[in-house]
Amino acid sequence: MRTEIEKLSKTIALSISFEPDVPTSEVFSEIPVAAIICTIKYKDRIIAQGRGFSTITRLNKSIERCAYAAFNGSWMSAAGHACRIFDTMHLNRADEERDEQKTAFAEAYRARHDVSLDRATDKQKDYARQLLSLNVEDEADREQIASTLDDMTKDEISSLIQRFAR
């Protein structure tokens, strides 16, 4: 949990602007309305817009209160949209990281798999040991060569077998 919180703990530079929502005001031209659009930008790209709308009613008699209701409504709407966008960006980034990890694991497996195919087989090693015991009289030399068999490739051990099989 702590790791996830630390990943999300950062400062994000956002640009937030508010402007009159003229098209909405024109639609409701018969009644007194306050209509505002809040635009949130991240890295010079619009990531969210919210619209706030309020009218003067018996409950909301003040023009200032009406304007603040529209302002707060547009801000809350834009912030809600921005949260969904940031969630999507975070999930996409997490998916990319997982895909990179999966690719790295697959490549590591393939590398090990390819190396194991190139390694000498147990049959080759056993045959090479038999040939060593028959052809190398010095025990120290025989032991030294035998100790390298496990690290040999198929080609290397084939050369060794051909050398001693004659």
**pLDDT tens-place string over residues 85-121:** 888 887 777 778 777 777 777 776 665 545 556 888 9
| Helices within the chain (DSSP H only) | 2-8, 22-27, 63-118, 122-135, 139-146, 154-165
Q: Which of 29, 19, 14, 15 is nearest to 71 (CA)?
A: 19
Give pLDDT tens digits along the chain (166 positions): 888 788 778 888 999 999 999 999 999 888 889 999 999 999 999 999 999 999 987 776 788 888 999 999 999 999 999 999 888 887 777 778 777 777 777 776 665 545 556 888 999 999 989 888 888 888 888 888 888 998 899 888 888 888 887 6
For helices 122-135 and 154-165, angle between their N-to-C axes, nearest 10 degrees: 30
Alpha-carbon torsion (21, 22, 24, 30), positive or negative: positive
Domain spans of the chain, in order of start:
2-116, 122-165
Count CB atoms within 10 A of the CB of residue 32.
13
